[in-house]
Amino acid sequence: MAMTGVLRPGHAQIRVLGLDEGVKHYRDVLGLVETGRDRQGRVYLKAWDERDHNSVILREADEAGLDFFGFKVADKATLAKLDADLKAYGLATERMPAGELLETGERVRFELPSGHIIELYADKTDVGNGMPYVNPAPWTPAAESGIAPSRMDHCLLYGPDIEKVQDIFVNVLGFYLVEHVVLEDGVNDLAIWLSCSMKAHDIAFVRHPEPGKLHHVSFLLDSWEKVLRAADIMSMNKVAVDIGPTRHGVTRGTTIYAFDPSGNRFETFCGGYQAYPDWQPIKWTWDEVGTGIFYHDRKLNDRFLAVVS
Amino acid sequence: MAMTGVLRPGHAQIRVLGLDEGVKHYRDVLGLVETGRDRQGRVYLKAWDERDHNSVILREADEAGLDFFGFKVADKATLAKLDADLKAYGLATERMPAGELLETGERVRFELPSGHIIELYADKTDVGNGMPYVNPAPWTPAAESGIAPSRMDHCLLYGPDIEKVQDIFVNVLGFYLVEHVVLEDGVNDLAIWLSCSMKAHDIAFVRHPEPGKLHHVSFLLDSWEKVLRAADIMSMNKVAVDIGPTRHGVTRGTTIYAFDPSGNRFETFCGGYQAYPDWQPIKWTWDEVGTGIFYHDRKLNDRFLAVVS
Amino acid sequence: MAMTGVLRPGHAQIRVLGLDEGVKHYRDVLGLVETGRDRQGRVYLKAWDERDHNSVILREADEAGLDFFGFKVADKATLAKLDADLKAYGLATERMPAGELLETGERVRFELPSGHIIELYADKTDVGNGMPYVNPAPWTPAAESGIAPSRMDHCLLYGPDIEKVQDIFVNVLGFYLVEHVVLEDGVNDLAIWLSCSMKAHDIAFVRHPEPGKLHHVSFLLDSWEKVLRAADIMSMNKVAVDIGPTRHGVTRGTTIYAFDPSGNRFETFCGGYQAYPDWQPIKWTWDEVGTGIFYHDRKLNDRFLAVVS
Amino acid sequence: MAMTGVLRPGHAQIRVLGLDEGVKHYRDVLGLVETGRDRQGRVYLKAWDERDHNSVILREADEAGLDFFGFKVADKATLAKLDADLKAYGLATERMPAGELLETGERVRFELPSGHIIELYADKTDVGNGMPYVNPAPWTPAAESGIAPSRMDHCLLYGPDIEKVQDIFVNVLGFYLVEHVVLEDGVNDLAIWLSCSMKAHDIAFVRHPEPGKLHHVSFLLDSWEKVLRAADIMSMNKVAVDIGPTRHGVTRGTTIYAFDPSGNRFETFCGGYQAYPDWQPIKWTWDEVGTGIFYHDRKLNDRFLAVVS
């Protein structure tokens, strides 16, 4: 098989301070489709073009942040093998039973040295993207309802020990390093972008003293024009924009960072190149970190390194 | 590993009737970068954003068409394994020595039941995309020299026995079926789109009585605006446009089909969705084949099924 | 005053064979906003970003085509002066009373030598574009309802005696010639594009033996990406596309030609350069007329000169 | 005539601290075409798609800023009439002889109450846009050389007495008010946008205690994608970006503000709506001035009101 093992980011469970305003943001402004609610009161959403039942789960809590981030793997055999590999590596894993998340099979859960909970799972119900699997149109009205990203794409997490995190993703989970920013010492990394696919990043990490923090969950748009439209819709809805529209040097993607009503940063982004595992990683030096993160401004804003949830 | 086995389309050797006008077309109009010529007189080119030494090889011949189409695989061990798997499947394979193509390692070559020569290889020299691997800009002037696709992307081939072809790509090489068009009988396929990645197609086939024919080699553009620019440049250079700019129903990609001076069709296309192997394939029925191929016109033009090289 | 006299195309009364299917097309597919119906049963529509009450009026009739095309002039004094100037030129003018068209003041009507009825008027009620005149957003949901052009932009009419038509528009109404296509004789024009503004065309004419025919009424889109979206929506609604998306050589605008259910051609187009009256006109020679009309195909399709309503 | 009187912004004479770095910026980075140098050492440039000989003149000086801003009028009779009208209004005018600016006819010069020098002229040599007036292509390689705006579009000037300025532009020169921002007092304007055409602004003013200051000269791009490309090129050339890419609420245009090496702000912008003189002006209230200026951020940056040259 050419695509095996871990396939893609599948779900992110995000804590919001108020469920109603959270739903209003993710469904009505961001434009995700609500697909269910469970007994715990969690709200399930998906991007219009995703086929699996959910990719964002909102949980009401006293503190914003990310509960866990899950990856879909190729099949049950892969799930079993990766569970064994993680244990062999020395990580404790936990099995979450099928159905604990709506329409989602059994999940293998483990904690990264950075303090984040990662999950793997093989099954999530195909509910379709609103178009038939026979003679489909290229898009539906849902593609224009709110900002309407086509998928939940990746996340950027902040925490310590990112070398160990990289080792796990690369040597156990089969990811590869696409880009990295080197610290002032010229040796250690400030940030790493990792891929299990052709995406320039399926997950990324920034070194940070406090464990388990979320920088942003990212949502994919189809064009730079859709990025402009997203920024317009944010302003129409008084969403707090962090920065953008602009371009990242890293990945070349175009981007807006903004905050949900609970203070969780999210990104609507487009493009970037498509990567392959045989490519050598791209390095950004400390003096050019600003250019790497915000290509047009060529400097970080104050919030990039400081504000996480 | 998450991306394993066959990674991507790597090279296409195309026959042109006149080498000079072929080079003029592929280098000066299409905007590929010439990277070398060999003792046989073949001319090597690559798209500006590709890192490997070559992706298009032009060979002067009396008849237009495709000599062979090659895929890069993850590494030498993969190459050996796939060679053994192909033989075990019952296909004869041939080893082309390293260096027979410039800057390219040993290739495993075999013939499909459709009459096409396919190659696998693990090594091609990384010559870079014209930007450093440290603190790169997002693009270079080469990205605006001619039509300037970012990569050679896929090909569509015409020949018989496409069920057997599909079986080899899926069950030996690890591809998956993304979309297919069913014939009037409702059972057999007219056309199949196959992926070894997240691309909606890495290779595609249309059923055709004559073996070994080329419909088109395709080159990737970054945006619909670049598709317009490509059409403008084609007209400025009196390139014969087949159809477009338009959209395919299949893959949703936007497209122009046009012909090189020897009559080989090529495509400049953009977008389409990104696919995963766990997705169920999309089917197009016979009565909607026109919509599937040319979404706006909703009918095939005369040339689509008839003109190949 | 810098913009004086005739300001812009203001309304087009179009004959449709069935009012319901006409409304469905212009309102639900093209995405105009219905603003009223009168006692005669005529339906009034406007593009979302127009401020005046109506720009398209549909009248049910046994034969498709254009009843009349109206221009808004700067004020009542201008209307009186142009009426006098038209009479002094030798044209009969007729006054249509205020209110004969909903929310529209008195109109001065006359017939061109090409057989078309043209109207001038100074007043049409400002109903706004759906956004306040204080602190407006850049667009509203109406901007994404159907194809949603921002305005009715111009028309192309077919008829005889276009030299006389040009003389009236230039020497009485203050238009200027922007581009023209010369016939095989190298002397007379096949087609003329005329502007009363910075638009590359506010009205255009093609020489044709039969008087009073409509080639198309055109609607403006904001970007090439919106042109793609328009083509998608046409296909989703099985609108008969004539040609496009493509580019005109004349005006450089990007375009789709398609037909309403009654067979009236309409255009959704974008861009083109902005012109000034001190610029010398651009000429297209007979051998390049195809390139002038359809820049990518570099030839006319059969319908361009033959199919009018 | 429908377009009469003042036609368009025609030239801006900008002071630069170093001529060589100024030329490098405006020619090589911004992508204007150098068309001449005069005995005083001034350098003349034009945007690729402009037909007149020059639109930007660089003069080396000890202080950055704008020497004067000129408008082309319809013809010599118009020039004479406007000269008389300005005098009748009570303004002193001065005649600059033909040829004092290269390839430019006699200019009528006067000073605004805001301290800016404005010029009117009827003649500037048509040197073409690099394409023939017979069967032209839609663009040339010059359209991709540097940022490559299609024209110098407008300027924004800072100074006192903008009510008087507005009175002159509206009641003597025939401009109309398109948008304005009201001060905290709810009565007086902070800023006014004025048009002599269908452009949402041909010139704009912000109230400022110091007379004769330049906020920016603006250059037109064809698409939001070209705005991204402009930002990329600015970063590649280490141009100091002020803000953007973003959208203005006022005019709806998309924009980047940046600085030339001497500290003169310039803008590369796209779009905005097309306006007409019969439209009522749009008002922005003091509490929404941030949204009016930078629609996505919804607040002014520190530099907008403070940094001028």
pLDDT digits (tens, 9 = 90+) for D202-244: 999 999 999 999 999 999 999 999 999 999 999 999 999 999 9
- Looking at residue A57, its pLDDT comes to 98
- Looking at residue B3, its pLDDT comes to 85
Residue C276 has its nearest CB partner, among D7, D133, D249, at D7
Average pLDDT over residues D146-157: 98
Mark which of B96, B126, B144 sits at the end of a domain: B144
The alpha-carbon gap from D73 to the nearest alpha carbon of chain C, in Å, equals 9
Query: Is residue B129 included in any domain, yes or no?
Result: yes
Say whether both A122 and A178 belong to one domain.
no
Say whether both D58 and D196 belong to one domain.
no
The complex scores an ipTM of: 0.96
Q: Percent of chain C beyond pLDDT 70? A: 100
Of A160-174, B292-306, C194-208, the poorest mean pLDDT is in: B292-306
How does pLDDT run across C115-157, given as a tens digit for each residue?
999 999 999 999 999 999 999 999 999 999 999 999 999 999 9
Query: Is residue B237 included in any domain, yes or no?
Result: yes
Average pLDDT of every residue of chain C: 97
Mark which of C144, C179, C203 sits at the end of a domain: C144
Residue B273, domain CATH: 3.10.180.10
Q: Percent of chain C beyond pLDDT 90? A: 97
Say whether both D17 and D123 belong to one domain.
yes
Say whether both C194 and C140 belong to one domain.
no
Alpha carbon distance A171, A164 (integer Å): 10
Alpha carbon distance C224, D242 (integer Å): 28
Q: Which pair of tokens denotes residue C52?
A: 């005046």
Q: What residues of chain D lie within 8 A of the CB of C279, using their CB? A: 51, 126
Residues 274-293 of C with CB under 8 A from D: 274, 276-285, 288, 291-292
Query: Is residue C1 included in any domain, yes or no?
Result: no
Alpha carbon distance A173, A5 (integer Å): 7
The residue of chain C nearest to residue D139, with distances taken between CA atoms, is C252
How does pLDDT run across B24-76, given as a tens digit for each residue?
999 999 999 999 999 999 999 999 999 999 999 999 999 999 999 999 999 99
Query: Is residue D1 included in any domain, yes or no?
Result: no
Q: What residues of chain D lie within 8 A of the CB of B223, using their CB? A: 225
Alpha carbon distance B215, C5 (integer Å): 56
Say whether both A179 and A114 belong to one domain.
no
Residues 80-109 of A with CB under 8 A from B: none
Q: What angle in degrees, to the nearest 10, is found between the helix axes of B76-89 and B162-171?
A: 140
| Candidates C26, C44, C158, C257; catalytic one | C257
How does pLDDT run across D244-272, given as a tens digit for each residue?
999 999 999 999 999 999 999 999 999 88
Using pLDDT thresholds of 50, 70 and 90, give the confidence band for residue D3. Answer: confident
Contact C8 D288 (CB under 8 A): no
| Candidates D11, D116, D154, D208; catalytic one | D154
Mark which of C97, C118, C144 sits at the end of a domain: C144
- Looking at residue D1, its pLDDT comes to 55
Question: CB contact, 8 Å: A4 with chain B?
Answer: yes
- Which alpha helices (H) appear in chain C, and where do they start and end? 19-23, 76-89, 162-171, 224-236, 289-293, 302-306
How does pLDDT run across A274-297, given as a tens digit for each residue?
999 999 999 999 999 999 999 999
- Looking at residue B250, its pLDDT comes to 97
| Candidates A25, A180, A201, A208; catalytic one | A201
* B208 classed as catalytic: no
Say whether both C179 and C280 belong to one domain.
yes
Say whether both A176 and A295 belong to one domain.
yes
Average pLDDT over residues C242-267: 98
Q: Which pair of tokens denotes residue D188?
A: 């007086």
Q: What residues of chain C lie within 8 A of the CB of A138, using their CB? A: 232
* Contact call for residues D155 and D206 (beta carbons, < 8 A): no
Say whether both D62 and D183 belong to one domain.
no
- Looking at residue D2, its pLDDT comes to 78
Domain region containing C126: 6-144
Contact C3 D196 (CB under 8 A): yes
The alpha-carbon gap from D281 to the nearest alpha carbon of chain A, in Å, equals 21
Residue C137 has its nearest CB partner, among A138, A225, A236, at A236
Using pLDDT thresholds of 50, 70 and 90, give the confidence band for residue B2. Answer: confident
Handedness of CA A103, A108, A110, A112 (dihedral sign): negative
The residue of chain B nearest to residue C295, with distances taken between CA atoms, is B235
Residues 209-238 of B with CB under 8 A from A: 222-224
Say whether both C160 and C301 belong to one domain.
yes
- Looking at residue B18, its pLDDT comes to 98
Query: Is residue C26 included in any domain, yes or no?
Result: yes
**Chain A interface test: which of D228, D229, D284, D287 (most A C-beta within 10 Å):** D228
Average pLDDT of every residue of chain B: 97
How does pLDDT run across A110-136, given as a tens digit for each residue?
999 999 999 999 999 999 999 999 999
| Candidates A154, A180, A208, A215; catalytic one | A154
Residues 7-26 of A with CB under 8 A from B: 7-8
Question: CB contact, 8 Å: D164 with chain A?
Answer: no
Say whether both B128 and B259 belong to one domain.
no
Q: How many domains does chain A have?
A: 2
The residue of chain A nearest to residue C142, with distances taken between CA atoms, is A144
Query: Is residue B1 included in any domain, yes or no?
Result: no
Query: Is residue B27 included in any domain, yes or no?
Result: yes
Q: What is the DSSP string of D225-245?
A: HHHHHHHHHHHHTT-EEEEEE
Q: Percent of chain A beyond pLDDT 90? A: 97
- In Å, how far are C150, D165, D180, D197 from D177, measured between CA atoms? 21, 11, 8, 11
Contact C139 A232 (CB under 8 A): yes
Residues 107-146 of C with CB under 8 A from D: 126, 133-139
For the cut 90, the answer to whether the pLDDT of residue D106 exceeds it is yes
Contact B74 A271 (CB under 8 A): no
How does pLDDT run across A190-225, given as a tens digit for each residue?
999 999 999 999 999 999 999 999 999 999 999 999
Average pLDDT over residues B159-176: 98
Q: Percent of chain B beyond pLDDT 90? A: 97
Q: What residues of chain C lie within 8 A of the CB of D74, using their CB? A: 277-278
- Looking at residue A2, its pLDDT comes to 78
Query: Is residue B230 included in any domain, yes or no?
Result: yes
Contact C291 D135 (CB under 8 A): yes
Say whether both A105 and A170 belong to one domain.
no
Q: Which pair of tokens denotes residue D73?
A: 């009028």
- Across-strand partners of A12? A56, A69
Q: Which pair of tokens denotes residue C175?
A: 């238009």
Say whether both D112 and D181 belong to one domain.
no
